[in-house]
Amino acid sequence: MTLTVNCPTCQAPVSWNETFPQRPFCSERCRLIDLGAWAAEEHVIPGGENEEQDLFSDDLPEQ
C-alpha cells in the first residue's frame, strides 16, 4: 500500500515513494515555488521576535 499526500503547493496527489523524488511536492517547479515563498517570508514559523535572543543570551559575556 502506497501513501498518497497532496502537494503543498498545487494540491496534486503525490505517491510517497521513489517515483516522486521531490516529495512531498509533485515536481521541481512546486518545490521551488515553496522555497521562494519561504525566502520572501510568506511562510513563517510562529514565535516572538525576542525568542532567538533569549535562547542565546546566556552565551553572551556580561558587560
Q: Is residue 7 part of an annotated ligand binding site?
A: yes
What's phi and psi for 29, nearest 5 deg? -60, -50
Q: Is residue 38 part of an annotated ligand binding site?
A: no
Q: Is residue 17 part of an annotated ligand binding site?
A: no
Q: Is residue 10 part of an annotated ligand binding site?
A: yes
Distance CA 39, CA 25 (A): 17
Which residues are documented as binding site for Zn(2+)?
A: 7, 10, 26, 30
Which residues are documented as binding site?
A: 7, 10, 26, 30
